[in-house]
Amino acid sequence: MTERSYHVITYGCQMNVHDSERISGLLEESGLVRASGEGPSAGADVVVFNTCAVRENADNRLYGNLGHMARIKEQHPGMQIAVGGCMAQKDRDLIVRKAPWVDVVFGTHNVGSLPTLLERARAEREAQVEIKEALETFPSNLPTRRDSAYAGWVSISVGCNNTCTFCIVPQLRGKETDRRPGDILAEIRMLVDEGVQEITLLGQNVNAYGVEFGDRRAFAKLLRACGEIDGLERVRFTSPHPKDFTDDVIAAMAETPNVMPSLHMPLQSGSDKVLKDMRRSYRSRRFLDILASVRESIPHAAITTDIIVGFPGETDEDFEDTLRVVEQARFSAAFTFQYSIRPGTPAGSMPNQVPKAVVQERYERLVKLVDEIAWAENRALVGQDVEVLFAEGEGRKDAATHRMSGRARDNRLVHVTVPEFPAQRPRPGDIGQVRVTYAAPHHLNSDEPIRGLRRTRGGDAWEALHAAPTGQVGVGLGMPTMRRD
């Protein structure tokens, strides 16, 4: 009997990307293999949509894609379609009413139920909808199929205790649940044993980590503990929150060599009035003071952010405040979003929704300013040496100029000219020193020879993976690699 195959389609944040690694791990543990065919379903017997509900068009996109999948399913007897993630947690059985060809709907709190629900739907020839109001199992206890041999995501908490008025996450992922430090460190050690060089600690608000077990300094302690793990080259984390960002975390970042000098700190708006309406619990002065403290302790830190333009009630003056803060903050990059109503959030029913044309005009001005500053910050690095962890499938790999890409310690994207012969090139996961020879707004180039190339255990793991017939990585407990859209 031929093995059934699966295909996971992921939308949204890093939490979802990591959850999709769990979904793949669960399906592989129940005997399915990753599909490798063409088209939206990749020719799979089981297609899983891991959905996001952050923005208005999330609904349209999901139901549109489910419509496409219906026609594919008609041609593929026995095919099953499952919908999970935040849209499933929000819409529940509405999904099977609007798309009756869907076989399973599962929520953000019961990812582990998927294989059982698929089996039950097949046996009973009836759609299965199972949504839980609270977390059943901490996701890290589920089997995982990691996407990368040398980099891994590690969840430290799920859910969020904040109530930002534009955000639907607390309703769909629940209150914050913290994982015990011992479990986190055990998973990291297991990943390093597998060849992982870089880990990213994941949480909706990593700075609040420990609130559930009464230790407000737990996150800084966790960063320092990561510094004790041999073979762990790089530690990153996302997302921090300015309201809980404390000096002990800055000290831990500055004093722990393998914690990277890069910080993604969501600003959202530079206007104190808008920050109040967003219920972000900090103001622009506090935000800039944190950046100043970080730069005092870590002068070469690269700081990135998230900014929403056109929040209800945002005036021209408010927007000018945002531009002023961006000028002072000198971000190396920013994810910029045009506000869109998220039904079910307080902001969704606020008065003074800003007209689309005004939002668009402000958005273009913001992106222009952000790119000018990012480019200026990048140009300042020309002539400097940076350490690059080479990556697979990232950025440009143009055969003509023999380039590979990777990330510097401050998370900047670097395209590096590499030797013509593959045997002389770094492998993804390897680490080398390069001199920056050119700067663009969103990346750096190095056209000089790589120096001090280290063939790492991450590179070995990548090579072993790509030598292996199935190319499977770490199907096992608690092993862990985005995209932001």
Residues that bind ligand SF4 (CB under 6 A): 160, 162, 164, 167, 169-170, 204-205, 241
CA dist 401 → 38, 310, 418 (Å): 29, 42, 8
Radius of gyration for the chain, computed over Cα atoms and rounded to the nearest angstrom: 23
Q: Choose between 103 and 272: whose C-beta lies nearer to ligand SF4.
A: 272
CB of 164 to ligand SF4, least distance (A): 3
CB of 88 to ligand SF4, least distance (A): 18
Q: Choose between 6 and 219: whose C-beta lies nearer to ligand SF4.
A: 219
- Give ∠ CA 107-108-110 in degrees, rounded to 5: 70
CA dist 415 → 258, 263, 396, 435 (Å): 23, 21, 7, 11
Tell me the C-alpha distance between 335 and 156, whole Å: 23
Fill in the DSSP letter of residue 34: E
Cross-strand bridge partners of residue 407? 389, 413
Q: Choose between 279 and 443: whose C-beta lies nearer to ligand SF4.
A: 279
CB of 123 to ligand SF4, least distance (A): 38
CB of 183 to ligand SF4, least distance (A): 22
Residues 211 and 173 sit within 8 Å (Cβ to Cβ): no
Fill in the DSSP letter of residue 268: B
Burial of 461 (0-12, 13-18, 19+ CB in 10 A): buried
Sign of CA pseudo-dihedral 304, 310, 313, 314: positive
CB of 19 to ligand SF4, least distance (A): 15
370 contact partners, CB below 8 Å, separation of at least 6: 307, 326, 331, 333, 334, 336
Instruction: Please give the structure tokens belonging to residue 466.
Output: 């790509």
Q: Choose between 349 and 384: whose C-beta lies nearer to ligand SF4.
A: 349
CB of 53 to ligand SF4, least distance (A): 11
Q: Choose between 106 and 166: whose C-beta lies nearer to ligand SF4.
A: 166
Question: What are the φ and ψ backbone dihedral angles of 345, each rounded to 5 degrees?
Answer: -100, 150
Longest Cα–Cα distance in the chain: 67
CB of 43 to ligand SF4, least distance (A): 36
Q: Choose between 8 and 164: whose C-beta lies nearer to ligand SF4.
A: 164
DSSP codes, 333-368: EEEEEE----TTSGGGG-S-PPPHHHHHHHHHHHHH
Tell the residue number behind the tokens 């280290």, with chain if given.
454
DSSP codes, 89-155: HHHTTHHHHH-TT--EEE-TT-GGGHHHHHHHHHHHTS-EEE--SS-SS-GGGSEE--S-SSEEEEE
Question: What are the φ and ψ backbone dihedral angles of 179, each rounded to 5 degrees?
Answer: -90, 145
Which has the closest alpha carbon to 76: 51, 96, 99, 101? Answer: 101
Q: Choose between 204 and 322: whose C-beta lies nearer to ligand SF4.
A: 204
CB of 85 to ligand SF4, least distance (A): 15
CB of 205 to ligand SF4, least distance (A): 5
Question: What are the φ and ψ backbone dihedral angles of 460, each rounded to 5 degrees?
Answer: -60, -45
Q: Choose between 112 and 170: whose C-beta lies nearer to ligand SF4.
A: 170
CB of 147 to ligand SF4, least distance (A): 23
Q: Choose between 13 and 450: whose C-beta lies nearer to ligand SF4.
A: 13
CB of 161 to ligand SF4, least distance (A): 8
Locate the DSSP E strands across 392-450.
403-408, 413-417, 431-435, 438-439, 444-446
Q: Choose between 167 and 439: whose C-beta lies nearer to ligand SF4.
A: 167
